[in-house]
Structure 1
Amino acid sequence: MHTRWRGVTASTLAAVALAGLVAGCDGDKGKAQVTVDAGALDAGPPQPVLGGKLGEALAAAASGSPEARPAPGGATDGPPENGVFSVAAAAAALPKDVPYKLEVIDAGSEPRARLAAKIDPKSEQKVAITLGLRMGGPQGLPNLELGVSLKAEKPADKPKDGAEAPAAGAAPTKVLAKVTSATLASMSVGGPPKELGDALAKLKGSSLRYDLSPANMASNQKIELAKDADPGLQPLVGALGEAIALVTPPLPDKPVGPGAYWMVTDRAVASGAQLPVLRYRVFKIEKVEGDLVSLSVDTRQYAEGADLKLPGPNGDVTLTIDRLESSGKASLTWSPSSFVPGTADASQRLQALLVPPGAAGQQNAQRSVAQVELTAKFAAPAAQ
């Protein structure tokens, strides 16, 4: 049935991107906020769900150094139980001047080998991505089918006389990911209205530029919408960028084998919510077949501070994050010659309890639920 999509256009997406993060369609009234109990979040099993040595490593990494973040009684805290770091604790867990940390927890079994990207700068990779971004519960947009082309951009001009050239092999690859097609995924009979499909199709030509380091770390993403695309569609391209980053595996600097796993700590901005988070991704080698490496990924995200700014009709409104839960899983097949995995399946979910301005700490304060769910499937494009 397509009645719920009637009148939904790109301009509506802009409103969703700005204020539709707050969940809770109350029946057919479409209210933006609902009063909830503080225990109403349901983002899966309680965090952290990783057990054993892996869970201990996550707890240690998220706690920061004991000197920087003393805990009551002298013990070191694990990840914040409410999912929200203080600004100081976030800086202790990952200093602001450190782009990311990678820790090999288990090197795996023999035979071991050093994983290294070997991308031909003249190559092009085409991939089909099914992308879903839902904000505020199940009444989200239909999934998109995106065609994406990835190429290395030409190196910058040579440094002028007297300027210091980058160290050999240390410069990142400048990647250009361009949307070559954008259509709605198949739905029930009727589907959404034509105007929505037409608006989304104008994403064609939009691009995402980012750096890919020698260690295969994706960073510094920049979005450029196609000339005719509605600005309200920008969150969808942002979601594409987050999906690419989620499944791009930073590589250890030591040999690893089957069963190896390592944890990457970095900063990210959650799609839709525009919420700065500390992200912990644990990559595990499931299988190695020649140059192809099959990996699984577990992700946990924690708010990097309790304040969340959202645009309002009279200017920005700062809400307090009372509780946040965000976790995700992915599986992927990585090749050293590819910009992104040839196949991948990823999902990331974020839920938060938000307190209105001036109501933080009040037991009976009205709370609203914020929800964002990102899903992405990568595959080879269909034969033309």
Structure 2
Amino acid sequence: MASMLAAVALAGLAGCEGDKGKAQVAVDAGALDAGPALPVVGGKLGAALAEAAAPGGPEKRSPPGSAADGPPENGVFSPQAALAALPKDVPYKLEVIDDGSEPRARLAPKIDPKSEQKLTITLGLRMGGPQGMPNLDFGVSLKAEKPADPPKDGAAAPAAGAAPTKVTAKVTSATLASMSVGGPPKELADALAKLKGSSLRYDLSPANVASNYRPELAKDADPGLQPVLAALGEAIALLTPPLPDKPVGAGAYWMVADRVVVSGAQLPVLRYRVFKIEKVEGDLVSFSVDTRQYAEGADLKLPGPNGEVTLTIDRVDSSGKGTFTWSPSSYAPGTADASQRLQALLVPPGASAQQAAQRSVAQVELTAKFATPAAAQ
């Protein structure tokens, strides 16, 4: 059963009729599956998304910039356009669209480095058709790593508050989110139990930017579950809001552009997230987030049975929505409910984009729910 779970986790993103194996396609060639096509978003993506999703919010207005500022209609940037949108040496870009209403305050983490945050995270990772890996429940403990000792050679220490907080999110338990009478088969339960002790290490900057995720499987865990641990990190990152360097209030929204690799797909994308403050209650801030993702280029390289296979990305549709609560004293959201979906139309080597019979649809869907252990019970 452990090997079956690993196989589901690694089920193909893409491939072609004559080249199965690790580059196996999980969905037959054809149109994208049921569901409306994503709208073409033009101009400054953040303003357009936020205004469209904010009933009673700011008055509708034309997005700043020209249509040329917007993302490509087929969801695939050229390498040059991707660099123009976000240079490689720029980790992220944040633009405040609206400051929100009074009272306003500057949001910033105020984490006690000795504190611990415990979460129950229900994670779903579906790759391919309607069948996929069952949802998993993780117990997660987040702590700050002990700061490095100050230099002993007389060198100046970094300015206070400038260095990122190094966070370790450790898996304390893992099981199926829903189980039949009698529980899961023993082999599957044992495979999941061995995820205990796995960890995600990452940096959290003074502006609440999470970066440099490093998943580490526990010693005895099935290596095939590595994509699951990576997806757990993607969920935490998705719901960690980079914060503006200016005071904001309820109704404020801002756009963040950055680069990520989609879990399970190994597809590099430019990700645009629009964070909106729905309400503020003391130190607890309720957010909504809308996401769009665009391929950085038209080439997707995947391992195949006879070596690396290069597929052409003809179209990408990727969007997501979520809500979550954030507190300055926490490493990660306290409660959250989010989903992120990516669909790509892929052309195998040697085929033209017009040869529809040879094209394949690849899908990855990530869902995540966060709760405190008490609330989860």
TM-score by length of 2: 0.87
Change (3 A) 1:319 1:16: farther
Number of the residue aligned with 1:358: 350
Contact 1:206 1:224 in 2 (8 A): yes
2:356 and 2:15 mapped to 1: Cα distance?
Answer: 19
Does 2:375 align with 1:378?
no
What is residue 12 of structure 2 aligned with on the other side? 20
User: Aligned partners of 1:53, 1:314: CA distance in 2, in Å?
Assistant: 42
Deviation at 1:286, TM superposition (A): 0.4
Q: What CA distance in whole angstroms lies between the structure 2 residues aligned with 1:33 and 1:145?
A: 25
Are the structure 2 counterparts of residues 57 and 359 from structure 1 closer, same or farther at C-alpha, using a change threshold of 3 Å?
farther
| Partner of residue 309, structure 1 | 301
Distance 2:3 2:369 in 1: 26
- Within 1, Cα distance between the matches of 2:6 and 2:309? 17
Provide the C-alpha distance between the structure 1 equivalents of 2:151 and 2:101, rounded to a whole number of angstroms. 44
Q: List gaps (5 residues or longer) in structure 1.
A: 1-8, 25-30, 67-74
Shift of 1:23: 9.7
Q: Deviations over 1:204-246 (max 9, x none)?
A: 1000000000000000000110010010000000000000001
Amino acid at match of 2:314: D
The answer to whether residue 194 in structure 2 is matched with residue 202 in structure 1 is yes
Deviation at 1:300, TM superposition (A): 0.4
How far residue 317 of structure 1 moved from its aligned partner, in angstroms, is: 1.2
Alpha-carbon distance in 2 for matches of 1:248, 1:56? 19
Q: Structure 2 regions of 5+ residues with no counterpart?
A: 17-23, 52-62
Q: 2:256 aligns with which of 264, 270, 282?
A: 264
Residues 48, 222 of structure 1: alpha-carbon distance in 2 compared, 3 angstrom cutoff: same
Of the three residues 141, 149, 152, the one matched with 1:149 is: 141
Q: Give yes or no for contact 2:42–2:70 (8 Å, CA) kept in 1.
A: no
Inter-partner Cα distance in structure 1 for 2:50 and 2:87:
18
Name the SS for the 1:76 alignment partner.
helix
Q: Is the 8 A contact 1:18 1:311 kept in 2?
A: no
Residue 85, structure 1, aligned to residue 81, structure 2 = no
Name 2:19's counterpart in structure 1.
none
Q: 1:277 to 1:298 in 2, by over 3 A?
A: same
Contact 1:322/1:353 (<8 A) preserved: yes
CA–CA distance in structure 2, aligned partners of residues 169 and 53 of structure 1 = 29
Identity of aligned residues (%): 80
Q: What residue number does 1:318 align with? A: 310
Please report how far the alpha carbon of residue 32 of structure 1 lies from its aligned counterpart in structure 2 after TM superposition: 3.9
Q: Does 1:289 align with 2:264?
A: no
CA distance in structure 2 between the aligned counterparts of 1:351 and 1:18, rounded to whole angstroms: 16
Of 328, 341, 351 in structure 2, the residue corresponding to residue 349 of structure 1 is 341
- CA deviation string 1:45-74 (max 9, x = no partner): 42346999821899xxxx9x99xxxxxxxx
Q: How much is the aligned-residue C-alpha RMSD, in angstroms? A: 2.8
Pick closer, same or farther for the CA change 1:162–1:48 going to 2, 3 Å: farther
User: Post-superposition shift, 1:358?
Assistant: 2.2
- The offset of 1:40, in angstroms, is 3.2
Distance 2:112 2:219 in 1: 30
Q: TM-score, normalised by structure 1?
A: 0.86
- Matched to 1:243, the amino acid is A
Select 1:339's aligned residue among 322, 327, 331: 331
Q: Is the 8 A contact 1:19 1:312 kept in 2?
A: no
Say if 2:54 is the partner of 1:54. Answer: no
Call closer, same or farther: CA 1:177–1:269 in 2, change over 3 Å: same
**Cα distance between partner residues in 2 of 1:50 and 1:290:** 36
